[in-house]
């Protein structure tokens, strides 16, 4: 499901530009990390800023409205793409240390890489992966939402567009393992 920027700013889809701006300012005051010490405040503020960047600009808002009116990809297609990506990774010749279905820990020549299969990679998902796993983590996703603020230990690959988001992949076996997706 596409991320609903209107829901993030807590406004209706037919809200005026003034209502969108007022909602942004209200939420920014509530969730700015200088004013809100909760651990979730920074991630919430990032989402609020990203929503404002799009909904606060008339042209970008029109483009977003057109994009969200398009139907979602078929869930069966998404599942098939993720399964094919998983199988391709498993054929890469790396030793499987952990296999939790959509999360694999692989090792090759003492290099460890965590592969996580996601329908959607966004900033919240990337932040979770960076906090959860100490090793290099590669998110293989069928959709990337927003410009990602990637942690140094996380790389995201858009499987539908063959695009890398984040730091470059290390040279050698890791790059070879993921070359099919780029």
- Averages of pLDDT over runs of 10 residues in the chain (182 residues) are 83 94 95 90 91 95 85 80 96 96 95 95 87 94 83 90 89 92 93
CA pair distance 28, 31, nearest whole angstrom: 5
State the pLDDT at residue 122.
86
DSSP letter for 179, please.
G
DSSP letter for 35, please.
T
CA angle 3, 147, 46 (to 5 degrees): 70
Of 3.40.1350, 3.30.70, 1.10.3470, 3.40.50, the CATH number of 75-181 is 3.40.1350
Is the CB of residue 1 less than 8 Å from the CB of residue 72?
Answer: yes
Q: Alpha helix locations (H) across the chain?
A: 5-9, 17-31, 41-55, 58-68, 75-90, 123-132, 173-178
CATH superfamily to which 5-68 belongs: DnaJ domain (1.10.287.110)
Q: Spell out the domain ranges in the chain.
A: 5-68, 75-181
State the pLDDT at residue 94.
97
Report residue 156 as tokens: 């995201």
Is the CB of residue 178 less than 8 Å from the CB of residue 138?
Answer: yes
In terms of phi and psi (left: phi > 0; alpha: psi -120 to 50; beta: otherwise), the region of 162 is left
State the pLDDT at residue 142.
93
């Amino acid at each position: 499901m596409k991320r609903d920027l209107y829901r993030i700013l807590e406004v209706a889809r037919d809200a005026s530009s003034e209502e969108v701006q007022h909602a942004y300012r209200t939420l920014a005051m509530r969730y700015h990390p200088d004013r809100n010490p909760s651990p979730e405040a920074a991630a919430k503020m990032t989402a609020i800023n990203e929503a404002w960047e799009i909904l606060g600009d008339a042209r970008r808002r029109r483009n977003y409205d057109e994009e969200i009116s398009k139907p979602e990809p078929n869930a069966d297609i998404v599942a098939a793409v993720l399964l094919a990506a998983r199988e391709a990774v498993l054929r890469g010749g790396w030793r499987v240390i952990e296999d939790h279905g959509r999360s694999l820990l692989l090792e090759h020549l003492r290099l460890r890489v965590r592969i996580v299969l996601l329908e959607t990679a966004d900033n919240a998902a990337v932040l979770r992966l960076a906090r959860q796993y100490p090793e290099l983590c590669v998110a293989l996703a069928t959709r990337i939402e927003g410009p990602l603020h990637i942690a140094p230990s996380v790389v995201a690959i858009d499987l539908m567009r063959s695009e890398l988001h984040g730091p470059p992949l290390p040279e050698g076996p890791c790059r070879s393992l993921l070359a099919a997706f780029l």
